[in-house]
Structure 1
Amino acid sequence: MRRADLPALSLFAAVAARRSFRGAARDLGLSVSAVSHAINGLEASLGVRLLARTTRSVAPTEAGQRLLDGLEPALAAIADAVEAATAAERRLTGTLRISVPRSAAEMLLVPLAVAFTRAHPGVEIEIRAQDGFRDIVAEGFDAGVRFAESLDQDMIAVPLGPPQRGAIVAAPDYLARHGTPADPQDLHRHVCVRRRFPSGGLYLWELEKDGIAQSIPVTGTLVLDDDGLVAEAARGGAGLAYLFEAQVAADIAAGRLIRVLDAWCPPFPGFFLYYPSRRLMRPVLRSFVDHVRGR
């Protein structure tokens, strides 16, 4: 490949992304003929057809797609390097898209994001509260939040907050009517508010004491898919509920909910902010990661 072909590679990527010579030319501030001439010259230099053209559409050929697959990471790395080199000389700007479970969004991420955007008003953070497992790379997210055991090995993970604890709680009137469980096996005779995951599975209550772990398939008359609704049902006396301690701390302090089986809910590693392992990070993501570490 000739050095003179390098500018045409970025034009090729732009045309392939837009599936249009006209659209790419408009984005780049060039004439359609200039873009077309550059692509024709690149194809002639490489000796291969990169784009299939019809009167209605433009799409990469098989060879063009192979080139594009290798080209996009290189162009992204160049853009990141330029942004990193110039970021120190200007106000931090950009958009961060983060996929996060709803519980972690409420307890941890939203407060962090509010503080960060107040310090950097040129930054926009989009938080997508999604309880199911997501492929953050395929879906275009900059980062995600999950428990450590759910993370892929090629991701970089930063603790998002302190260790978490579960809490089994119920309203005082429920316990007055049904009694207080003294052992995990007592849960089988209690009415429990169950939690369904986006995958369709029901959460098995995970308990542990003195190194003995149990997963309890509880039963009950309510099945909900949101922790806030589970907490509301528990406050209403629907039954026992298993939530994060932080989600019900105020209710426990106010006496609206009473905690049971406390000894069976030890601390465990909390949520982690994770992102793809890349040599060059966008400055806005790097700054947010530093913000998380500092908090």
Structure 2
Amino acid sequence: MLRFDDLQLFVRAADLGSLSAAARGMDMSAAVASAALKRIEQQLGARLLARSTRSLRLTAEGEGFLQYARAALSQLDEGRRLLASRQDHVSGVLQLSAPSDFGRNVLLPWLDEFQREHPQLAVRLLLGDRIADLFRQPVDIALRYGEPEDSSLIALPVAPHNHRVLCAAPSYLARHGEPRQLAQLAQHNCLLYMLGSRVHDHWGFHDGRREVSLTVTGDRFSDDADVVRRWAVAGAGIAYKSWLDVSEDVLAGRLRVILPELRGERTPLNLLCAHRAQLSKPINLLREMLVARCTKLTEQFSDRWSNRQ
């Protein structure tokens, strides 16, 4: 395969009538330039330049090939300019995957605003709680809770200080009473999330001095985190959810945080991608917006939690 810099050297040498002048212009030694010219002639199976110690001229084969070399370099430059213009402007298709609950109830309105600010950008959004295969699925990035299990993925923090909270609807608490101690959760219907065959029924907390945990039970299970949130809002039981997922419900009064003195499990939100080359301008701008919005929400939780201490 012909190399870009070899083609560039050949064209410059033909224009300047000097291989050494072309080498100086490309900041390479005469020996490297001579080797590059020899390489391209061997690959083409033709002599392109007839050269002596004092002169250089195009051969007949070289004259015929020169126009194609110029056209190839011109096309490559045009391609680079096109890529650069796309990087400068927020356009194209942004393909991302997000957790079901966060995606539907938090991310969706934020994406609407993002597209209003950048009307030339199209969005392809895939929702689900299973880990997206970024090497196979048609997505550029994925938003996921927790640390990535695949160490080959690039993970950029979006909400590193996000935590889980215990929450329930005021209607449920009015009927069944509000737990005042962690052990009292055994007397309540806990809404359980499952991923694959694993049910997340072991809930852990930190009481300011040590880690505490218990195994809970309930009559409802779902592998869709948004369904668990909807059950909680409907008054079906107590949920243990990411603060980002339920923050709007808590702030609107649809849900109430229970035992706020207990710090729930840390649940960081990360932006994952397979290669850093995928971090285009639209993705970087989206991440900046997500970090700002999520930081505001996590600070609201921290303010409420610290005020209860």
Normalising TM by the smaller chain, what interval? 0.5 to 0.7
Equivalence for 1:187: 185
TM-score, structure 1 normalization: 0.61
1:273 positional shift = 1.6
Which amino acid is the alignment partner of residue 186 of structure 1?
Q
Mapped pair 1:84 → 2:90: no
1:87-125 superposed Cα distances (whole Å, 9 cap, x missing partner): 367x53211110110122135432332232112211111
Q: 1:120 to 1:174 in 2, by over 3 A?
A: closer
1:191 positional shift = 1.7
1:247-293 superposed Cα distances (whole Å, 9 cap, x missing partner): 44455456554432222234735312222233575444344445545
* Residue pair 2:141, 2:272 contacting (<8 A) in 1 also: yes
Equivalence for 1:110: 108
Equivalence for 1:277: 275
Q: 1:213 to 1:275 in 2, by over 3 A?
A: same
1:10-62 superposed Cα distances (whole Å, 9 cap, x missing partner): xxxxxxxxxxxxxxxxxxxxxxxxxxxxxxxxxxx9xxxxxxxxxxxxxxxxx
Equivalence for 1:264: 262
Determine the C-alpha separation between the residues in 2 that align with 1:236 and 1:280: 40
Return the match for 2:155 from 151, 154, 157: 157
Matches within 5 A, 1:1-295: 1=1, 83-87=82-86, 91-150=89-148, 152-161=150-159, 163-197=161-195, 199-204=196-201, 205-249=203-247, 251-252=249-250, 256-266=254-264, 268=266, 270-279=268-277, 281-292=279-290
Q: What number of residue pairs does the alignment pair up?
A: 222
Q: 1:275 to 1:119 in 2, by over 3 A?
A: same
Task: Give the percent of matched residue pairs that are identical in Structure 1 and Structure 2.
Answer: 27
SS in structure 1 opposite 2:261? helix
Q: Tell me, which stretches of 5 or more residues in structure 2 are unaligned?
A: 5-42, 44-76, 294-309
1:114-143 superposed Cα distances (whole Å, 9 cap, x missing partner): 232112211111111110112112213100
TM-score, structure 2 normalization: 0.58
Determine the C-alpha separation between the residues in 1 that align with 2:2 and 2:137: 35
Q: Tell me, which stretches of 5 or more residues in structure 1 are unaligned?
A: 5-44, 46-77
Q: 1:291 to 1:80 in 2, by over 3 A?
A: farther
* Residue pair 2:192, 2:220 contacting (<8 A) in 1 also: yes
* Residue pair 2:147, 2:270 contacting (<8 A) in 1 also: no
Determine the C-alpha separation between the residues in 1 that align with 2:146 and 2:272: 9
Which amino acid is the alignment partner of residue 85 of structure 1?
A
Determine the C-alpha separation between the residues in 2 that align with 1:79 and 1:225: 49
Which amino acid is the alignment partner of residue 86 of structure 2?
A
Moved more, 106-115 or 142-151: 106-115
* Residue pair 2:192, 2:221 contacting (<8 A) in 1 also: yes
CA RMSD of aligned residues (A): 3.6
1:177 positional shift = 4.5
Determine the C-alpha separation between the residues in 2 that align with 1:257 and 1:167: 11
Determine the C-alpha separation between the residues in 2 that align with 1:202 and 1:278: 34
